[in-house]
Structure 1
Amino acid sequence: MRLPGVYRAQHDTSLLRFVLRRFGRAAGRSVLDVGSGTGALGIEAFRAGAASVTSVDLSRRSVLTSWLNTRLHGIPATVRQGDLFAPVLPRRFDLVLANPPYVPAPAPLPPRHRMARCWDAGPDGRFLLDRICAGAPSVLSEDGVLLLVQSELADGQATLDRLEKAGLAPAVLARGRIPFGPVLRSRAPALRARGLLAPDQTEEELVVIEARHV
């Protein structure tokens, strides 16, 4: 189920689910789903054998949606409301999942009380990506793994560089191309003018990045 204003699980969620199933990263592990939305990734991790699931989201509606969905599926997840990793510190996790907003937007800051907060991420799409890269080491266990999905419109190489700068070893695990959805179609002219899209581009590439302690 999904309350109004909560991000609907889409292609990026599906790509991260695929990685969880293919690479077996969740089995026997403590899992943190940060920016949980509907709770779909935490549910997938539990089905893949996670020992425990903790979900965090800034939106109260998303927190309620995650809690309801995990209960409907019989999953004993812990659900917290707050900003990124703050609600769970100083605890550390074996697997951290992140599907943050990453769409380049006209405004410097994401809106707090509109649906666009689910995808708007500042002019370069990196408003939350950079914070996740910097903060992930503080919540990863010694052999913990971060799995993060984003669009290449938000510069996947910058994510790799920032994770490495934070002391992690990053790598791209999966890629997928999808047609533009309504948001990107509406913003395509402005993104083309900024050089973020090719003149005839109608698809975006999604990437799943893995990072772990060196």
Structure 2
Amino acid sequence: MYAPQDDTELLTEALREEAPAPGARVLDVGTGSGALALEAARRGAEVTAVDVSRRAVWTARLNAWLSRVPVRIRHGNLFAPVRDRTYDLILANPPYVPAPDTRRAPRGRSRAWDAGDDGRLLLDRICRDAPALLRPEGVLLIVHSALSDPDRTLELLREAGLKAATVRRRWIALGPVLRSREDWLRRRGLLAPADDREELVVIRAERPR
């Protein structure tokens, strides 16, 4: 788990624009410190947050207690703890950074960013499983890097019957993780020789009525 970054800020902006109604059911999957869950709860939503990291779960619970907002926080792998419920809004800021060493699953702090050779280790699972948890007219907001193939995300969500579009973009400086594997990313063709920035995108997908 690590402190909220630009991707959290970008997804928070999309959440504010979505403006879930008081009492709306919101799921924040991969909650980390709980920043997105708290933002939704402050707006009166009924919020459930999930994270696979026990440290993140305890941090999110502490932050909710300090903020005096009610958030139901569960430990588990993506949607496993909430498969019996449906939601008006699902927020997802999963790990999405392509990783050169995929011989073993990410461990420790790297679980917050490493996502397999193509960065889609969890993105594909979210695109596959989230639609079934959306109520009619429910919305999925997901943020990830353009390095992780946003067109694939749009394709999978549309194949699942959702109306999907990119609603936010932002260029940011390469962070320490990307800088540490910059040469590998350039050899893979994911970064152009002159690129010194990364583009983040927020994709919005809505389940028809």
Q: TM-score, normalised by structure 2?
A: 0.95
Please, which runs of 5 or more residues in structure 2 have no aligned partner?
A: none
Shift of 1:16: 0.7
Which residue pairs with 1:137 in the alignment?
131
Report if the CA contact (8 A) 2:89-2:140 is conserved.
yes
User: Given residue 122 of structure 1, which amino acid in structure 2 is its aligned partner?
Assistant: G
What is the DSSP-based 3-state SS (H/G/I as helix, E as strand, rest coil) of the residue aligned with 2:68? coil
Distance 1:209 1:25 in 2: 17
Deviations 1:34-56 (A, max 9, x none): 00000000011122x24211000
Residues 148 and 213 of structure 1, relative CA distance in 2, 3 Å threshold: same
TM-align CA RMSD: 1.2
Q: Percent identity?
A: 55
State whether structure 2 residue 113 is matched by structure 1 residue 89.
no
Which residue pairs with 2:191 in the alignment?
197
State whether structure 2 residue 98 is matched by structure 1 residue 104.
yes
Structure 1 residue ranges (4+ consecutive) displaced by more than 6 angstroms after TM superposition: none
Among 20, 24, 29, the residue aligned to 2:19: 24
Report if the CA contact (8 A) 1:39-1:66 is conserved.
yes
Residues 163 and 50 of structure 1, relative CA distance in 2, 3 Å threshold: farther
What is the DSSP-based 3-state SS (H/G/I as helix, E as strand, rest coil) of the residue aligned with 1:87? helix
Which residue pairs with 2:4 in the alignment?
9
Report if the CA contact (8 A) 1:20-1:26 is conserved.
no
Q: TM-score, normalised by structure 1?
A: 0.93
Which residue pairs with 2:206 in the alignment?
212
Please, which runs of 5 or more residues in structure 1 have no aligned partner?
A: 1-5
Report if the CA contact (8 A) 1:35-1:100 is conserved.
yes
What is the DSSP-based 3-state SS (H/G/I as helix, E as strand, rest coil) of the residue aligned with 2:82? coil
Shift of 1:26: 5.6
Aligned residues: 207
